[in-house]
Amino acid sequence: MRVSAIAITFNPFTSPATPKFTQTQNHSSFPSTAIAPLKLENQELSWNHLTHCNSDQLAKNWVEYQGINNWEGLLDPLDDILRNEILRYGRFVEAAYRAFDFDASSPTFGSCKFSKNSLLTRTCIRETGYKPTKNLRATCGIQLPDWVDRGPSWVSTRSSWIGYVAMCQEKEEIDRLGRRDVAIAFRGTATCLEWLENLRATLTDVGSRGGGAMVESGFLSLYTSGNATCPSLQQMVREEIGRVLEMYGDEPLSLTITGHSLGAALAILAAYDINTTFNNALPVTVISFGGPRVGNQSFRSQLEQSGTKILRIVNSDDLITKVPGFVIDNNDTVVNAAGVPSWVQRRVEDAQLGYADVGQELRLSSRECPHLSKGGVAACHELSTYLELVSGFVSSNCPFRATDRRVLC
């Protein structure tokens, strides 16, 4: 039996009011608690390495790597092509962090530091074959006193750049992938009001299909809220996917949504919304890193029925993946409180805190990597930690790849 207590999805070591920054050579400043440059064996991971490994096999079997069979036989041991695909999408999330203006003293705090056309190249992702087509913003829906709007930007910024849509445009990359791919990448929590939304851990009706599907209140608020100057993230995503389908709907097409932490939760909500709105017009895959729980059992059932494929990359030492809410014997029907006092079950149900994990899980562990095992609680949640663990993972029997520096099996 597994019982996980409610918690909030924020980094306890960094105050949103005073974000910490580190400067890395040849990179823009970004908070060390959110993202660090991905380095393997002291060399930054090459995009070319990720895109030139068994490309023929990827093109022929791309639906398998997008999860049509729930990645059966590909996770343990971890298939090398799938590994490279996970890392490739992780780099898109890394770009979302690097492009975000974290400087609370800057007049452009909360925006993207680079133009849409230069976003990938300026964040050192470079030749991806993808072109950003849409900037995305999320808006806090919490009703706050008027004085908040007169406060400093780190308090008053209601709408912030949260990520982007990028489309595979180069023929060589389309041929390598076997289809035209559209990627949506979301960063994790960065602003004060996003932290406050994360505190709203009770479940609320997701709407649309109904059927008892409920999701975390704060995540849904960030996805559906808008204001007079900024449409909701939901509206922006729907408009861009509609445009993509109108232009490219008659050719092989896939949508891959990826994100870290809060971004992982938004990725799942976006996938659900797209499949609900466009009725399975294209295969939708989510690759999430260090994501919290999002919804209840009914929400998970509706995701599965819609054909949404979700691969959750989980570090077993990362507390964020264990919140919010409670999961008690996470089975396929209802919250099972066998062995738990009845009053606990009633409180969980009454407070609407019964969550369910979704999709297929690739479980990793910082403790299995010698140079990551002493990083502390905060380091376990960093995107760079996740990408390094994915790079080194072999199988459950060999949890980290043997190299001249790391020998575990």
The H-or-E segment that residue 40 falls in is strand 39-40
Contact in structure between 287 and 185 (CB atoms under 8 Å): no
Query: For 372, phi and psi rounded to 5 degrees?
Result: -110, -20
Task: Report the 10 Å Cβ neighbour count for 250.
Answer: 8
AA letter at 407: V
Catalytic position from the list 261, 298, 384, 391: 261
CA-based max dimension of the chain: 60
Q: State the catalytic residue, choosing from 318, 365, 384, 391.
A: 318
Q: Which residues pair with 132 in a beta bridge?
A: 166
φ/ψ bin of 280: left (φ > 0), alpha (ψ from -120 to 50), beta (otherwise): left
Alpha helices per DSSP H over 251-341: 262-278, 297-306
3-class DSSP state of 99? helix
Q: How far apart are CA 99 and CA 102, in angstroms?
A: 9
Per the listing, tokens 């380091």 go with 379
Cis preceding linkage at 324, omega within 30: yes
* DSSP code of residue 179: S
* Distance, CA of 348 to CA of 325 (rounded, Å): 8
Q: How many distinct helices (H) and strands (E) make up the chain? A: 15, 11
360 vs 109, 251, 267, 306, 310, CA distance in Å?
Answer: 36, 28, 15, 15, 6
Residue 98 contacts residue 123 (beta carbons within 8 Å): yes
Is 318 a catalytic site residue? yes
Distance CA 337, CA 341 (A): 8
What's the full length of the chain, in residues? 409
261 given a catalytic annotation:
yes
Q: Does the annotation mark 80 as catalytic?
A: no
Catalytic residues: 261, 318, 381
